Amino acid sequence: MSLDSPKEHAIELVGIDKKFGTVHANKNINLTVAKGSIHGIIGENGAGKSTLMSILYGFYQADHGEIRISGKPVTIRDSQAAIAAGIGMVHQHFMLVENFTVLENVMLGAEGGQLLAKGVASARKELKRLEDDYGLEVDPDAVIEELPVGSQQRVEILKALYRGADILILDEPTGVLTPPEADHLFKVLRVLRDQGKTIILITHKLREIMAITDTVSVMRRGEMVATRKTAETTVEELAELMVGRRVLLRVEKGAANPGGVLMSVRNLTVKDSRGVTMVDDVSFDVRAGEIVGIAGVAGNGQSELLEAIAGIRKPSSGEIFIDGKPVAGVDPAGLRDLGLAHIPEDRHHMGLVLKFEEYENSILGYHRDPRYGRGPLLDLEAMRKDAEEKIGKYDIRPPNPRLRTANFSGGNQQKIVVAREIERDPKMLIIGQPTRGVDIGAIEFIHKRIIEMRDASKAVLLVSVELDEIRSLSDRILVMFAGKIVGEKSGEAGEQTLGLMMAGIAA
């Protein structure tokens, strides 16, 4: 296979340029993807990966530049045109109709006529063929919302193949998968490649790039900064290319020096609004000077557990103790007074009011503190001074307390929340997804702060769906599956062991 003959190029992007207002999302991007290969595109949030792929899939039009498919220039005005050009996309948030069956979802947009009856039989047959060819087994009559996430993703892939896609774009495909599910996905992708399909994998996980891709391109701030053969590069080189400077991938921390128990949870059961038991009879302790990590695939009760401890969700039974005092039923303000700080999982919905200015968010929840005003009035001057101090200490950019919070990047928004909670010097810190949607540079910073909290003899409870994060920060790891804690491991536990526990296979 010669890389130089244009016929062997599944995709060529030449000089793609895209601006959104003042944001230059893609700067003169050139990219060549060889037919029958798995090509990774890696970069931080906001590096322009998604924009580039959206242009390829017809969601946006490039301002300049040319797209060539198999050497031929094409114009992709909408998704219909992309599908016609043989491009299929598996979105990060699945584009599935949840109360439809697998078959209905696959047929949507390719029904084969005005009446459904005719198309159903042939779609069923075609699905069976795809299943046999690529090992993508799914029951065509199953309703999507009843399928596990891994199967839903297979439906997305089937949708693309059903429409005759030769080029498959996967956007952050493993974010919602358990490690075994991710392995299964990779197996499917290899089969697809070996049958001649071209695959573009967008991710921010370096490990995945190394595990599955043939070539990898790195994007940074809207530019394509490098393309490497995966076999000829290293994780360290890629990380440096992504960030533009050397980064520490693994947090350095000394041994933990745990003291007395600060927080204990006993037989806690929490139900969600539909009455489904999300946390099922959970008990554990967190001691001063240790980080306890809760690992698990999203949706196994970690969020509800965190909310119950933070006083946002009322547990249906069980007890939570802080310093030996029962606190179930105490509201979040009361818990804060007891020395509990909470960095919520979702900064947009819980941690921040995006329309507020930065300094307003930096005291949110602590507005009754006499430092920030007396009686019903706020002391804006004191608030701004306080915000400026935090901005300096946490290197929040741009350093402007009067800027609307929505205008900060994800990493800087997260730093605003982290600064607000940690600078109160709490005794206990509970954190959900500390680095979701945060760039590598800020991840390093936030991780360091968390370790510092531990070293200052605070009790830290960490919930994250990023197994790497749990493993590099935690002194003890609890694994949650289907609402229960299925086991406890030390911070050194292997990824394989934890992965199996997260999938509910081993304890």
Q: Binder to other proteins among 2, 5, 22, 114 (CB under 8 A)?
A: 114
Q: Binder to other proteins among 47, 56, 69, 107 (CB under 8 A)?
A: 107
Angle between helices 179-194 and 149-162 (to 10 degrees): 20
Which of left, alpha, beta for 234 (phi over 0: left; psi -120 to 50: alpha)? Answer: beta
In the complex with other proteins, the residue whose CB is nearer, 123 or 291, is 123
- From 38-46, 109-117, 287-295, 362-370, give the range in contact with other proteins by CB under 8 A: 109-117
Alpha-carbon distance of 293 to 471, in angstroms, equals: 8
Q: Please give the single-letter amino acid code of residue 493.
A: A
Alpha-carbon distance of 426 to 428, in angstroms, equals: 5
In the complex with other proteins, the residue whose CB is nearer, 119 or 373, is 119
In the complex with other proteins, the residue whose CB is nearer, 99 or 317, is 99
CB of 478 to other proteins, least distance (A): 33
Is 377 a binding residue for other proteins by CB under 8 A? The answer is: no
204-263 residues in contact with other proteins (CB under 8 A) are none
Q: Please give the single-letter amino acid code of residue 439.
A: D
Nearest alpha-carbon partner for 68 in 35, 25, 20: 35
Alpha-carbon distance of 477 to 471, in angstroms, equals: 8
CB of 74 to other proteins, least distance (A): 15
Site size toward other proteins (CB under 8 A) is 34
Burial class of residue 40 in the structure, from the number of CB atoms within 10 Å of its CB (0-12 exposed, 13-18 middle, 19+ buried) = buried
Q: How many CB atoms lie within 10 A of CB 165?
A: 22
Q: Binder to other proteins among 1, 117, 231, 255 (CB under 8 A)?
A: 117
In the complex with other proteins, the residue whose CB is nearer, 51 or 474, is 51
Alpha-carbon distance of 272 to 484, in angstroms, equals: 15
In the complex with other proteins, the residue whose CB is nearer, 61 or 496, is 61
Cis status, amide bond into 258, omega within 30 of 0: no
Alpha-carbon distance of 379 to 357, in angstroms, equals: 15
Does residue 479 contact residue 295 with C-beta atoms inside 8 Å? Answer: yes
Alpha-carbon distance of 89 to 95, in angstroms, equals: 10
Alpha-carbon distance of 191 to 183, in angstroms, equals: 13
In the complex with other proteins, the residue whose CB is nearer, 59 or 321, is 59
Give the contact letters, 77-96, x = binds to other proteins (CB under 8 A), - = no.
Answer: -xxxxxx-----x-x-x-xx
Is 60 a binding residue for other proteins by CB under 8 A? The answer is: yes
How many angstroms separate the Cα of 327 from the Cα of each of 309, 314, 331, 433? 9, 11, 9, 24
In the complex with other proteins, the residue whose CB is nearer, 167 or 295, is 167
Alpha-carbon distance of 453 to 318, in angstroms, equals: 28
Q: Binder to other proteins among 6, 71, 73, 109 (CB under 8 A)?
A: 109
CB of 272 to other proteins, least distance (A): 14
Does residue 135 contact residue 191 with C-beta atoms inside 8 Å? Answer: yes
CB of 59 to other proteins, least distance (A): 6
In the complex with other proteins, the residue whose CB is nearer, 100 or 321, is 100
CB of 36 to other proteins, least distance (A): 25
Burial class of residue 348 in the structure, from the number of CB atoms within 10 Å of its CB (0-12 exposed, 13-18 middle, 19+ buried) = middle
Does residue 429 contact residue 421 with C-beta atoms inside 8 Å? Answer: yes
In the complex with other proteins, the residue whose CB is nearer, 30 or 61, is 61
Give the contact letters, 17-56, x = binds to other proteins (CB under 8 A), - = no.
Answer: ---------------------------------xx--x--
In the complex with other proteins, the residue whose CB is nearer, 116 or 121, is 116
- From 26-34, 99-107, 330-338, 345-353, give the range in contact with other proteins by CB under 8 A: 99-107
- From 107-115, 263-271, 292-300, 433-441, give the range in contact with other proteins by CB under 8 A: 107-115
In the complex with other proteins, the residue whose CB is nearer, 120 or 188, is 120
400-439 residues in contact with other proteins (CB under 8 A) are none
Q: What sign does the dihedral 94-100-101-103 (CA atoms) show?
A: negative
Is 276 a binding residue for other proteins by CB under 8 A? The answer is: no
Does residue 332 contact residue 306 with C-beta atoms inside 8 Å? Answer: no
CB of 111 to other proteins, least distance (A): 4
How many CA atoms, within 13 angstroms, populate the side-chain half-sphere of residue 56? 32
Which residues form the interface with other proteins (CB under 8 A)?
A: 50-51, 54, 57, 59-60, 78-83, 89, 91, 93, 95-100, 104-105, 107-111, 113-117, 159
